[in-house]
Chain A
Amino acid sequence: MQFMLLFSRQGKLRLQKWYVAHPDKAKKKITRELITTILARKPKMSSFLEWRDLKIVYKRYASLYFCCAIDQEDNELLTLEVIHRYVELLDKYFGSVCELDIIFNFEKAYFMLDELVVGGEVCETSKKNVLKAIAAQDLLQEHIP
């Protein structure tokens, strides 16, 4: 996976994670380009599009779009699974997650993603383990004044 973006239906970026380094300018350009392309797509369309030499896999959950860029050889369906897994995790953690949860606790959303995906590769496939690790870290955080 090359990067993951979360953005709202209004085109506002909510989260971005880059696993391949790009200069800030390029990141902004890519983000803008993808947001417009994806928002222009109709709901009945497939979740995949070819973009530059990458494949974009996106999925909409409520008002949020989750969008991943993967290599040509990567498995699109697997990427959808990753996205779904992430959404499930957020849901479990926040308790029926909504966009505002992610806006106000964006660092938690990042921590969660970091447990799930490291360096662009899936790290932990068990939801239980991820939540356990996050809970342990939260505990650690709260115990230190």
Chain B
Amino acid sequence: MALRKVKGNLERMFDKNLTDLVRGIRNNKDNEGKYIAQCMDEIKAELRQENFAVKANAVAKLTYLQMLGYDISWAGFNIVEVMSSSKFTYKRIGYLAASQCFHQDTEVVMLTTNMIRKDLNGQNMYDAGTALTGLACFISADLARDLANDVMTLLSSTKPYLRKKAVLLLYKVFLKFPEALRPAFPRLKEKLEDPDPGVQSAAVNVICELARKNPKNYLSLAPVFFKLMTSSTNNWMLIKIIKLFGALTPLEPRLGKKLIEPLTNLIHSTSAMSLLYECINTVIAVLISISSGMPNHNASIQLCVQKLRILIEDSDQNLKYLGLLAMGRILGPHPKAVQPHKDLVLACLDDKDESIRIRALDLLYGMVSKKTVMEIVRRLMTHMDRAEGTFYRDELLQKIIQICSQNNYQYITNFEWYISVLVELCRMESSQHGALIAAQLMDVAIRVGAVREFTVGQMALLLENAHLLLGPAAANSSIAEVLFAAAWICGEFAHLLPNARNTLEAIVRGRLWSVAGHIQAVIVHNLVKLFIRIVVTAEEEDDADMINEVTALLEERLATWSSSADLEVQERAVFALQLVCLVRDKRAAGLKLGPELALLTAGELNPVAPKAQKKVPVPDGLDLDAWMNAPPSESEGSGDEDLLSGGDLFFRSEEPPSPSVGRKNRKAQHISEEDIMQRRAARLQEQANNPYYMKTTSNRSSTRSSPKTSLANLNVDEIPMQAIELDVPLTIPGMTSLSKYEMVDGDGDNKKLRHKKSKKRSKRKNLALSSSEEEEAPAPLVINTDAEMPEGAIVSDDDDRDNRPLDDPHRALDIDLDSPLSPTEVLPVLHHREAPAAPKLKRSSKPASSTVDAAKSKTKKDKSRKSKKKEKNGDLLGSEQKEMALDIGASVTDSKPKPYANGVDGKKTHDDIEFWLSTSDPVEQPPEAEPENAPAAADATQKSKATKKSSKEPKKEKKSKETSKKVSKKSSRKSELNLPLVDGAPSSDLRTPEGVDRRDYEVANGHHASNATPDRHKLLAEDSAVAVSWRARPAADGLKQIRLSLSFSVSSQLSDSMTDIRLVRLHLPDTSSLALTRVNATSSDIDLERALLSPGAPVKKALTVEVQDATVPHKLRGALYYSLNGGSERVLPLKFEVSVLCCLSGAGASREAFSELVSSGALTARSAFTTSCPDISFEQLLRVLCGDGSFGVVERVQNTASLYAASLSGHHVCLLTKLKDSGGVCVDGKASDGTLLANALDVLRAALTAAP
């Protein structure tokens, strides 16, 4: 043995250690791969040895290689081996390697559970520390579940070093094993008051992280954190606390009001930039959450803006960047406060750092006004000229367009200027946003009629100079898209063209063959429109030469297009060519086609809302899912699916963005005048009857007078459309002349001149405006923002309920932390895997009872600290509630309750926070103001409002009258506690959604659940003599009780009907969560008085059971003792499965109350399932779901129904159930408590699956 050791050590001397490896790699730069392959072989050999030192060395080297990017996953087992070494040196290396290369899915992680547990509980503090840090990196769901309890134990370690790390690790545990959160949370909360600042800070960190993801659960901790914030000087912790408040304030505006003062103080006093920045961010969040009514509101904003200005002016780029970022956040809600700092932001545009420039651009977007838009855009354009790098240039271009087009051109007073800007933008080098410019050009041309002529002129010029756009640089840019818009605008509004023929020639002669197919297609199509226009005018002027020339030109050029490779171009070109030939032939025959041709392009255009097409309802009788033709064979299926699915059913997504353009009354066929009139009349009639058809109501005289206008006008009132109507013509005579903005021909001098002019103009304008009120500025342009939508359709944004990704682990942490713990909710404790069958309750009862015992003894010993500790008892000790209730009553009177103590039933916690918040500024919030504030507050307020109705008013009055707040607090608390527990007076727990008396609903609502469902007892147990059936319903009097009705009858298996059966007693011991109300409180037996059981006459017994937590299912075991023919007692074991449905009552929900509840936002938990029940009718389905009256039907429409239930604990559960034709059942639930909902749905699903 000794020899072997010596040998091992000797061998080791020749091994490479880590340093050698690193050195070796550095020396073998040229053939690193080969060297490392060699090292890997050595390492593999070393790992095979038994000497731990050698193994550890090998693992250390592997860790290094892993960093260099080599795969070491094969060594997982060796790493575990090294981790398990008893020597700290090696253990440390093992854990390091594990934390670097293990992750939750690594298989060997499963082997580590017991080893890590040993380390965590080990004597050496650093062993445990190493294990904790390592675990933080590779914890898996299994490890989290198995080790949660050990980590919890470390929370009470005597060493702050371990407590601190354990607290931080808890966060990871929660993420992987959300069930641990509720049981662990009270302990975590205690750590907020840990004597060691490091532990305290760690606890703040963890709670802050948790709260940021699910803030509403942590609102009740606000007072604790507030105290910490005002007392602590640790900046690290302060930042976290302030961040936490930033997450909480949106939920509770009153909290924000309370925060403003300390935060402003901090902003004034602190020298730490990180703290300052965090404070400003939270103040901004507060200001956003408080809509109005803050007296020193403006002062806080000003302070923030000032401080941010200092940051932005700082030479440190980081501060500048963050300053701009935060400034952007203020800009949203308070643009006025930021606007004065425009100079600063504009200065940032010159910064060297691109990210800073882009931040500044973001800010500018919100800073423009009618007065400043021209100047800002001008500056941006000069920047664009100078900008290096296409990315930034594109960013600038996009921002310019965003700035100008925001809110439907809200800030644009002069559209000619804007068109000029767009044209100018086309000429910027290598723009990726050609399509964007094109869309803007078309949008403005269509929607702003007054500027149309100008636009058309500009576009014509653009087409004539198309070669400038299509230079060599255009190859990798999308600027050619502009030609799409230009051609379309010129064609569509050809009547506005100064010289249609010139434009046509320019297009035809231009080198436009190189542009993309879809652009060419549009060009060809618009050539037709131009051609028609030319023919029509020429005929009016009798200019036959003109027609002939144009015809000849087109014939020649269209031929080229008609051989295009692009199918669309080709088709359109051929069509156009035929039309041109037709015109030529007819004209040759001496016919005049002008009026008929004009009809081809008649009609007005209106903007259509981007979503309009999708919102067109499917007409009755049209089944979009049905095949129109026989379905294609399987092999073609895949391609068609793409077409059918998704929202692009009606429009092509590659087309330029909104607004798409709807056209009507356009005929592509060449038919006789009479025919046209006839068909048009018929179609208009049809359209008039079709509410979804887009119609023209343009009451301004259209340049294209067409016969159908009179017809359309008949129905003008019913037509749901808006045209662009401008109260004031955009062209201000004498003020804007084309020459001022005409900037197409790219000659430099002209451009500069133009810039100067526009500058002067804007200056003049500014001067004029500053002397008068802004309101007196030229009457605002009305740009009708409404686009056409189908009747009844609303432009809505789709749901933004929860934007966390589905796999976000934080979703699972959306757990109600205020409701008391049920005894079943404990962390899993050490158990051997060999005995998985051990009943769950038994397993978990061990730590619960120990904690309980500890807590109990403390309660007795330590009277002064009772109020806090005792509540914990309340959480854990269901069966001793009676005794406890008295305790509370007593203790409240002699001990001052801490404001942040945890509530007995969640309600109290809310009261605490309510109280804490309401005491913040009694002057500001007189009692009368309360009802107004209350609706704004969270669900909690609403909930407790009804409860406190009686107690609140006197409380408030007292508060305002008496100076001693404590007295009123004490008394109110006392009365509240007494209500449900001692007095036995009707508690508020079973409130109907609005706190109105339930009976009102029952009368009003015909759908009372119990009418619908029969009173059924379920068979519970049966032996050869006796059968027991049972039923559990919430007790009627609204306590936290359920009524168990038992029915004992003669078993059907009993052969001799003359048997004398006597029921002796029922043995039903209380469990920790279920407590029976008994006559004889000391015994767990219930005397059945030897009742005689005879066939057909069942014996009934009703029991009242107190339920501690109505959101989880419970089990109750017992036994029935009876005797046969006077013989010895026989036992029939009973096992009650008290599901959550037993605690639900569907009685009492009206449709109004239901919809209000659903829309109130109080129902935060959501869950759903679908299952298939082939042959079930909807009636059967409802019967199953409503079960024993646990749900009531609120509303039913065909095969859809809304169900409602109130739980004993005051929670609401709403279900929407649908029976699909295919037999699938879909149940969608919302509730005010997630656990309850999940459990309820589980039961329902099981019931549905079991249903016939």
Find out whether the CB atom of A111 lies under 8 angstroms from the CB atom of B137.
Answer: no
By the criterion CB–CB under 8 Å, are B67 and A119 in contact?
A: no
Bound complex: CA of A16 vs CA of B273, how far in Å?
A: 28
A24 touches B126 (CB 8 A): no
**Is B668 among interface residues, defined by CB-CB distance under 8 A?**
no
The contact of A107 among B60, B104, B321, by CB within 8 Å, is B60
Closest B residue to A45 by beta carbon equals B353
A21 to B19, CA, bound (A): 29
Partner of B201, one of A44, A76, A115, A125: A125
Count of A interface residues, CB-CB < 8 Å: 51
A114 to B161, CA, bound (A): 12
Chain B residues near A111: list those with CB within 8 A. 92, 96
Does B64 count as interface, using CB distance less than 8 angstroms? yes
* Chain A residues within 8 Å of B73, by CB: 24
- Indicate the member of A22, A46, A122 with the most B CB atoms within 10 Å: A46
Candidates B126, B273, B356; contact of A46 at CB < 8 Å = B356
Give the Cβ gap from B756 to chain A, nearest Cβ, in Å.
34
A134 to chain B minimum Cβ distance, whole angstroms, is: 10
Flag if A141 contacts B89 (CB, 8 Å). yes
* A136 pairs with B278, CB closer than 8 A: no
Rounded to whole Å, the gap between the CB of A17 and the closest CB of chain B is 8
User: CB distance B133 to A118 under 8 Å?
Assistant: yes
Inter-chain contacts of A75 with B (CB < 8 A): 239, 243, 274, 277-278
A49 contacts the other chain (CB 8 A)? yes
**Chain B 180-239 interface residues, beta-carbon cutoff 8 Å to A:** 198, 201-202, 205-206, 209, 212, 234, 236, 239
Q: Which of A30-85 contact B (CB under 8 A)?
A: 42, 44-50, 73, 75-78, 80-81
Instruction: Provide the residues of chain B in CB contact with A115, threshold 8 Å.
Output: 133
Q: In the complex, are the beta carbons of A78 and B317 less than 8 A apart?
A: no
Known: A44-B317, A75-B274. A119 touches B137 (CB 8 A): yes
Contact between A44 and B274 (Cβ–Cβ < 8 Å)? no
Is the pair A106, B92 in contact by a Cβ cutoff of 8 Å?
Answer: no
- Which one of A77, A107, A114 contacts B322 once the chains associate, using CB atoms below 8 Å? A77
Cβ-closest chain A residue relative to B64: A106
Do A121 and B206 contact each other (CB < 8 Å), given the known contacts A46-B317, A46-B321, A126-B198?
Answer: yes
Number of interface residues of B (CB under 8 A): 66
Binary contact track B263-276/A, C-beta < 8 Å → 1, others 0: 00000000001100
Is B164's CB under 8 angstroms from A124's CB? yes
Interface residues of A in 86-145 (CB under 8 A from B): 103-104, 106-107, 110-111, 114-115, 118-126, 129, 133, 136-137, 140-141, 144
A115, A123, A133, most chain B CB atoms within 10 A: A123
Q: Are B353 and A129 in contact (CB under 8 A)?
A: no
Instruction: Give complex CA distance A57, B88 in Å.
Output: 34
The closest CB in chain B to the CB of A77 belongs to B274
B1170 close to chain A: CB less than 8 A: no
A133 to B159, CA, bound (A): 12
Interface-centre pick from B60, B63, B67, B246 (highest chain A CB count, 10 A): B67
Q: Are A76 and B322 in contact (CB under 8 A)?
A: yes
Whether A13 contacts B67 by the Cβ 8 Å rule is yes
Verify A48–B355 contact, CB threshold 8 A. yes
Q: How far is the CB of A22 from chain B (nearest CB, A)?
A: 8
Q: Which of B165-173, B445-453, B833-841, B1028-1036 contacts A (4 or more CB under 8 A)?
A: B165-173
Q: Give Cα A42 to B169, complex, Å.
A: 38
Flag if B206 contacts A125 (CB, 8 Å): no
Would you give the shortest CB distance from A98 to chain B, in whole angstroms?
Answer: 14
Report the Cα distance A107→B243, complex, angstroms: 33
In the complex, residue of chain A having the shortest beta-carbon distance to the beta carbon of B165: A118
Complex alpha-carbon distance, A128 and B992, angstroms: 59
- Say yes or no: B234 contacts A21, CB within 8 Å: no
Determine whether B854 belongs to the interface, using a CB cutoff of 8 Å to chain A: no
B140: nearest chain-A partner, CB-CB: A21
A141 to B53, CA, bound (A): 12
A-contacting residues, B312-330, CB 8 Å: 317-318, 320-322
Q: How far is the CA of A126 from the CA of B209 in the complex (A)?
A: 21
Interface pair B201/A13, CB less than 8 Å apart = no
Q: Are A122 and B322 in contact (CB under 8 A)?
A: no
Closest to B352 in A: A44
For residue B22, CB closer than 8 A to chain A, the reply is: yes
- A119 contacts across to B, CB distance below 8 A: 136-137, 168-169, 171-172
B1225 within 8 A of A: no
**In the complex, are the beta carbons of A13 and B68 less than 8 A apart?**
yes
> Which residues of the partner chain B approach A124 to less than 8 Å between Cβ atoms?
164, 198
Cross-chain contact A118 with B356 (CB below 8 angstroms): no
A121:B318 contact, CB within 8 angstroms: no
Expressed in whole angstroms, the minimum distance between the Cβ of B179 and any Cβ of chain A is 19
User: Are A118 and B104 neighbours in the complex by a CB distance under 8 Å?
Assistant: no
B585 within 8 A of A: no
Residues of A within 8 A of B317 (CB): 44-47
Give B442-498 interface residues, CB cut-off 8 Å to A: none
For window 347-396 of B, CB contacts with A under 8 Å fall at 352-356
Return chain A residues, CB-CB under 8 Å to B354. 45
Please name all residues of chain A whose beta carbon is closer than 8 Å to the beta carbon of B212 when the two chains form the complex.
73
Using Cβ atoms and an 8 Å threshold, which residues of chain B touch A118? 132-133, 136, 165, 168-169
Question: By the criterion CB–CB under 8 Å, are A121 and B209 in contact?
Answer: yes
Q: With A75-B277, A77-B318, A78-B274 in contact, is A103–B137 under 8 Å at CB?
A: no
B419 → chain A closest CB, angstroms: 34
* B93 interfacial by beta-carbon distance below 8 Å: yes
Question: How far, in Å, is A132 (CB) from chain B's closest CB?
Answer: 9
Measured CA separation A64–B60 after assembly (Å): 23
- Min distance, Cβ B64 to any Cβ of chain A, angstroms: 6
Q: Which residues of A contact B234 (CB under 8 A)?
A: 125
Whether a CB of chain A sits under 8 angstroms from the CB of B885 is no
Binary contact track A10-22/B, C-beta < 8 Å → 1, others 0: 0001111111011
B745 within 8 A of A: no
- Interchain nearest-CB distance for B288 vs A (Å): 15
Question: Considering only CB atoms, which chain B residue lies closest to A14 in the complex?
Answer: B67
Give A49 Cβ to nearest chain B Cβ, in Å.
6
Shortest beta-carbon distance from A42 to chain B in Å:
7
Smallest CB separation, A37 vs chain B (Å):
11
Q: Is the Cβ of A106 less than 8 Å from the Cβ of B67?
A: yes
Given contacts A45-B355, A80-B318, A121-B209, A114 and B277 within 8 Å (CB-CB): no
What are 19 A-B interface contacts by the 8 Å CB criterion?
Answer: A15-B67, A23-B103, A42-B353, A44-B352, A45-B352, A45-B356, A46-B318, A48-B322, A75-B239, A104-B19, A107-B60, A107-B96, A110-B100, A111-B96, A114-B99, A119-B137, A119-B171, A122-B236, A144-B89
CB within 8 Å of A: which residues of B?
18-19, 22, 60, 63-64, 67-69, 71, 73, 87-89, 92-93, 96, 99-101, 103-105, 124, 126, 129-130, 132-133, 136-138, 161, 164-165, 168-169, 171-172, 198, 201-202, 205-206, 209, 212, 234, 236, 239, 243, 246-247, 273-274, 277-278, 317-318, 320-322, 352-356
15 additional contacts (CB under 8 A) given A45-B355, A126-B198: A21-B103, A21-B138, A45-B353, A46-B355, A73-B243, A75-B277, A77-B277, A107-B93, A110-B96, A118-B165, A118-B169, A124-B164, A125-B234, A140-B124, A141-B89
* Shortest Cβ-Cβ A-B pairs, 7 listed: A77-B274, A119-B136, A46-B317, A21-B103, A46-B321, A45-B353, A114-B133
